[in-house]
A and B are shown apart, each in its own frame.
Chain A
Amino acid sequence: MASFSGANALEPAQSVRTVLAAEAPTNPWFSWDYVRDNSEQLQTALQEHVVLTVETMVIALLIAFPIAILAHRYTRLAVPALSTTGVLYTIPSLALFAVIAPFTGLRARTVLIGLVMYALLVLVRNILAGLDSVPDDVKEAAQGMGYGRARMLWRVELPVALPTIMAGVRVATVSTVALVTVGVIVGYGGLGLLIIQGFQTFYRAEIVTASVLTVALGLTLDLSLAGLTRLLTPWSRSRS
């Protein structure tokens, strides 16, 4: 593959391999040389991965909040909202990318649309569950204090629902990070591109480095969001 700039790092090893083909498999699972020589490509892929994840989550949240708030207020909408997002969720990502690609093109937005659809289910479900879990006493007290609907939502219901909402945001973020890799089929898979490229050239270090980076990215974002939840809900700290 022409774009495979890690080839230099492999050259000595490969000449050894041609001599000792049978005895010495020189396809390491990890190699600092690979990381050093391809740091630029790794950075670009990581950056694309982060950008896709963040964009997905922002758009998904902007769509999920109105749906969940409407479903919370008009209970009849809850079942259709959850089952529609549920059906979208059942459709495999690769199939979804395949069906929408002719219309949206082989571009980042194809991946984005797919990822947003998957994040919606978890977000809508958790926001709705959070809002539904606000105790009636609390709402009655707020009403008694003269809170209107909008202020009640903003100052009472959303803060009480925040831990459940954030749990959903964490789950959706981690899943999105993992799912971005599938976007490689339309050319925008972040680190997924390196995984597939490593598979095509059968270069283990590339596969493992990209995979480990993906997992590390997911866990880092998860921990940051957990920290953010603690900061946003100081009241729950003293209780537990």
Chain B
Amino acid sequence: MNVFGDAIVWLNDPLNWQGRDGVPFLTYEHLYISGLAVLLGALVALPTALTLGHVGRGGGFTVSVTNVTRAIPILALLTVFAATAVGFGNRATIIALSVFAVPPLLTNAYVGIREVDRDVVEAARGMGMSETSILFRVELPLAVPLIAAGLRTCAVQVVATATLAALVGGGGLGKIINSGFGQQDPGQYVAGGILVALLALLTEGALALLQRQVTPGRDRARSRRSVREASDADADAAVSVS
């Protein structure tokens, strides 16, 4: 294919691997933006989900948060933040992306805590454990596999979405695609597309491994199933598109 040939030529040009517009720096910037966004999202989502899950309320709340954020185009949110005092650039991107990091983490952590066997919680209470230690020493450890599943969904989604930042003046690998379209250089935007797709697939693979590591063998099938069930029950917790 001619275009793929051009893309390979672009990828082989040492000039495209140097400086602040080079592939290594843009990859680093992409991961830095994504990492901070996931961290910010987790700081909001996890405490909320743990509290709501422990008291057993707010199921409807988590579902509606997920539904409403799905209807908001990320492009709109990126642009709106760029138009406020936050301004252009990576700060606006990180804030906008962290909004989208919340729903998968929130739903999975909430479902994870709720799915802990009530008998186990009752037994812990009967042994005289305080509510805080029930949450942190019983419910949280048992919910870890599902929280990891949520983290995986959330991180893959954020890495994918961070590509759009380039459309509104942000950094990351999306810049290669955006300026490729700007210069009408198919070789460049195809190369950018390949790089971004690779990064997304690698993130997915790495986090899938992590998720396996923290999921006890006998639970592997179960935790996958419960995320699916949660998602099929109209909430479609696990996924929303970039």
Contacts and interface: CB of A to CB of B under 8 A. Distances in A.
A118 interface: yes
Given A93-B242, A95-B163, A178-B71, A199 B189 contact: no
Nearest to A207: B79
Contacts, number: 152
A95 B196 contact: yes
Interface residues on A, range: 35 or more
A198 B200 contact: no
B70 interface: yes
Interface stretch (A13-21, A149-157, A181-189): A181-189
Contacts of A208: 80
21 contacts: A90-B201, A91-B197, A92-B196, A94-B174, A94-B196, A95-B197, A99-B190, A102-B186, A121-B239, A126-B232, A129-B232, A174-B67, A175-B240, A182-B73, A195-B76, A199-B83, A207-B79, A211-B77, A214-B73, A215-B72, A222-B71
Most central of B3, B73, B233 by chain A CB within 10 Å: B73
Given A122-B236, A177-B71, A199 B82 contact: yes
Contact of A199 (B168, B177, B193): B168
Contacts of A182: 73, 75, 164
B21 interface: no
Interface in A133-188: 164, 167-168, 170-171, 174-175, 177-182, 184-186
A108 interface: no
Most central of A103, A178, A211 by chain B CB within 10 Å: A178
A174 B240 CA distance: 10
A103 B4 CA distance: 11
B167 interface: yes
Most central of B166, B192, B204, B234 by chain A CB within 10 Å: B234
A89 interface: yes
A164 B232 CA distance: 7
Interface in A93-108: 93-99, 101-103
Interface string B130-165: 000000000000000000000000001001110110
B35 interface: no
Interface string B225-242: 000100011101001111
B42 to A, nearest CB: 21
Contact of B200 (A91, A118, A177, A214): A91
Most central of B3, B192, B239 by chain A CB within 10 Å: B239
A87 B164 CA distance: 19
Interface of B: 3, 67, 70-77, 79-80, 82-83, 156, 159-161, 163-164, 166-168, 174, 177-178, 180-181, 186, 189-190, 192-194, 196-197, 200-201, 204, 228, 232-234, 236, 239-242
Contact of A94 (B71, B159, B164, B240): B164
A98 B241 contact: no
A91 B234 CA distance: 24
A195 B73 CA distance: 10
A204 interface: yes
B99 to A, nearest CB: 13
A211 B79 contact: yes
Contacts of B201: 87, 90-91
Nearest to B180: A98
B72 A178 contact: yes
Contacts of A171: 70, 236
B76 A211 contact: yes
A214 B239 CA distance: 20
